[in-house]
Structure 1
Amino acid sequence: MIEHLTDDLGVVLRRDLVAAGVDDNAIKRLMRGGVLVRLRHGVYALTSLWSAASERQRHLMLARGVMTLYGDDVALSHTSAALAYGAPDWQVPTDLVHLTDLFAAGERTQARVRHHRGTCRVPDLTRMHGHWITSPARTALDSASILDRDAAVCVLDWFLRQRLTTTEELSMVVAGRHAWADHLGLTLKVDHARDGSDSVGETRTRLILGDLGLPAPVLQLEVYDVDGRLAGIVDFAWPEHGVVVEFDGEEKYHRYRRPGETIEQMVLREKRREDRIRELTGWVVIRISWADLRNPTALRARLERHLRPAAA
C-alpha cells in the first residue's frame, strides 16, 4: 500500500510516487482500483479520505498538493489562505486554489489554480506547514477583495474575532494599497467589519439590520446579576429599548456545548440563561434564525414593533 507516501491529509505528488517506484502505469491501476484519486496534474489523494471530505477539506487537500508542487516560489493567498487559517467558508468558492506569485509572474488561471500577481513585503508573509502563506491581515483583505460584501465581512469578522488582526491594522494595510483597483470597494467592506460577531449568522444579522435601517445594536453585551456575577452575554442588544436579539444557529449549539453535554441539555441550559436575563433586565428577548434572514421584510416588521421610536 502507499499510505506511507502520503502526507497527513492523504495527499501525494506524482513525482514522489515515481521516486518511490510507483510508475505511471501503477498509478493508473491504483486509480482504477479506487485507491487514488487525481486532484489535478501531478497531485493525487487517497480516495478514502477524499470521498469522506467536505468541500472545504477537499479544497485544503488540493491546496496542500499545489503548494508542495510549486515550492517557495508562491504563497498560499486569498480565500485559500483564509480557509487554511480556519475562516468560515460561507459563500466562499472552493473550485480554485489561490496563490500569489512571489516573483511577479503574470496573472493566470490554469489546472485549478488562480495565480495572482502582487507585491508581498516581509510583514505580508508567514509560514504554515512548511510553505509560504500570506499573513492574517493580508489574507483577510485579499479574500475580502474577491468576495461579495456579506461573505467578505464574514471573513473579516472572523479574523478580528480570532485576534489575528485588528481593525486598525486592516485600515492601515488598506490605506497602503490605495492605488489598487479594488481600493474603494475594499474600504467599504472593512468599514462594515466588527469585532463582536461570533458566527457567520451573527455577522449576516448585523449587516441585514443595517441594510434595513434599524439602529445599530450593542454587540456581545454582558448582563450581570445584583451580586456582580455574569448572568450571560447576548448577541445584540438595544438597552435603551429593552430589546435583545439572539441568533439561533447550529454552530452556536456546537460551539458552546460543554464536555459530555447533549444537545438537549445545552438547549435547556440556554433557556435558563435566557430566562435569567429576562428576570434581571425585564427586556424582550427575540430569537431569530437563518429562515428570518431570508425574509428581511418580515424581520424588520417583527423588530420595529419594539424599536419603532429609534427607527422612525
Structure 2
Amino acid sequence: MMINVPADDLGVVLRRDLVAAGIHDNAIARLVRAGELVRMRHGVYAVAQQWNQATARERHVMLSRGVVRLYGQDVALSHVSAALVYGAPDHGLPLTHVHLTDLAGAGERTQASVRHHRGGCRVDELSRRGECWITAPTRTALDTAAIVDRDAAVCVLDWFFQQGLSSPEECQYQLDARSVWSDHLDLALKLGYARVGSDSVAETLARLAFLDAGLPEPELQLEVRDQRGWLIGRVDFAWPEHRLIVEFDGRQKYHSMRRPGESIEEMVLREKQREDRIREATGWTVIRITWADLQQPSLLIARLRRYLKPAA
C-alpha cells in the first residue's frame, strides 16, 4: 500500500510529522528498508528520491532544515548552515555538521552531526525563515568567516557584499561589538581582505593570489566607456596606471551571461566582440585567465609581473 509521506518541498520530514500522520515507528522502519526514506539523523528523515539526487551542498541544506525544526525556538541556524541557506558559495566550507547557535545560552558541544555554538544574538542579528530562526546575513557572514580558513572566509564575505546582504561597514560595526571574543583578531584580518565587487569565487581567489604575491591591488568591476560615453562593459580586474585588464573565464560566468535563446557559440562571439571594443576604447592589454591558471599561481603571477613590473 502506498504511504503518503508528509515531507516538505525539500523532501524533509521529522519523525513527529510522520507519527502525527499515522505513520508510526514500525512503518517508518519499513519505509527506510524499502528505500523510500533515508534517515539523516535521529528523528529526521528525507524522501530517498530527493536525497539520492541531491549534491553534498543540497544534502547539508536538507539536514539543516530538519535539525533546526527539531530543536525549535531555542536555536537559530547559523554559521556555514545559515550561509548555505542564504545562497553563499560553499568553496572550502565544511559540510559535515549542521551549525546551530543556542539562544538560551547552552554550552558549546558537538553531537550527532550537529555543532552547537554558544553566543548571544541581538534582535538585529536574527531573522525568521519559515517557522525557524536563522542568524541575519551580517552575523552569518562573520560567524562563517570565523570558523574557516582565509580563502573560504573571504569568498563568503565577498559574496554577501556583492549580493547586497551585508557591507564592509556593517561587518566592521558588528566586529567592533564583539571585540572581546577570542576570534576577533583573526576575523579582523579576514575582513580586511574582503571587497565589494567580486562576482564569483574564482575572482575572489584570483584577487587573493595577486595580493599574496605582492602585486598592486586591482580595481574591481571598472566601467569602460566608448568615446560617446556609452558603457561597453565592466571588467573583472583593472590596473589603470599599467593599462592592464584581467578577465576571468569560467563556466559559471558564461552561463550567467547567456541571453534567452542564445547559443554558447553566439554568446562567446558576443563576448569576444565586447573584448575587442574594450581594447579599442582603452588601448590597454587584456589578459584572460581560467581556473587552470589558479592551479599554477606562480606562472600566472610571473605573467602579470611583466606588465606590472614598474610598481610591483
TM over 0.5: yes
| Aligned position for 1:308 | 309
Residue pairs, 1:1-312, within 5 angstroms:
1-3=2-4, 5-311=6-312
The one-character-per-residue Cα deviations of 1:107-133 (angstroms, maximum 9, x if unpaired) are 111111000000111111011122100
- Aligned-residue offset at 1:3: 4.9
Change (3 A) 1:111 1:306: same
Contact 2:108 2:117 in 1 (8 A): yes
SS at match of 2:100: strand
The one-character-per-residue Cα deviations of 1:170-201 (angstroms, maximum 9, x if unpaired) are 01111111111100000000111100100000
CA–CA distance in 2 between the matches of 1:296 and 1:84?
A: 32
CA–CA distance in 1 between the matches of 2:284 and 2:3?
A: 61
CA–CA distance in 1 between the matches of 2:161 and 2:274?
A: 26
Change (3 A) 1:3 1:247: farther
The one-character-per-residue Cα deviations of 1:20-62 (angstroms, maximum 9, x if unpaired) are 1111111111111111001000000010000111111110100
Q: 1:147 is matched by which residue type in structure 2? A: V
Q: Runs of 5+ in structure 2 lacking a partner?
A: none
CA–CA distance in 2 between the matches of 1:3 and 1:43?
A: 17
Q: 1:289 is matched by which residue type in structure 2? A: T
Contact 1:157 1:197 in 2 (8 A): yes
Q: Runs of 5+ in structure 1 lacking a partner?
A: none
The alignment of Structure 1 onto Structure 2 pairs a total of residues equal to 311
CA–CA distance in 2 between the matches of 1:142 and 1:217?
A: 28
Change (3 A) 1:3 1:144: farther
TM-score normalised per structure 1 = 0.98
SS at match of 1:309: coil
CA–CA distance in 2 between the matches of 1:154 and 1:294?
A: 17
Contact 1:202 1:235 in 2 (8 A): yes
Contact 1:98 1:113 in 2 (8 A): yes
Contact 1:96 1:113 in 2 (8 A): yes
- Aligned-residue offset at 1:263: 2.0
Contact 2:14 2:44 in 1 (8 A): yes
Change (3 A) 1:78 1:258: same
CA–CA distance in 1 between the matches of 2:58 and 2:261?
A: 26
- Aligned-residue offset at 1:290: 1.2
SS at match of 1:261: coil
The one-character-per-residue Cα deviations of 1:269-296 (angstroms, maximum 9, x if unpaired) are 1111111111111111101111111111
- Shift >6 Å, 4+ stretches: none
Contact 1:3 1:10 in 2 (8 A): no
Contact 2:5 2:18 in 1 (8 A): no
CA–CA distance in 1 between the matches of 2:4 and 2:147?
A: 36
CA–CA distance in 1 between the matches of 2:255 and 2:60?
A: 23
SS at match of 1:275: helix
CA–CA distance in 1 between the matches of 2:13 and 2:185?
A: 41
Contact 1:100 1:117 in 2 (8 A): yes
Change (3 A) 1:307 1:113: same
Contact 1:87 1:159 in 2 (8 A): yes
SS at match of 2:23: coil
RMSD of the alignment, in Å? 1.0
Q: 1:91 is matched by which residue type in structure 2? A: G
Percent identity, please.
Answer: 66
CA–CA distance in 2 between the matches of 1:189 and 1:5?
A: 43
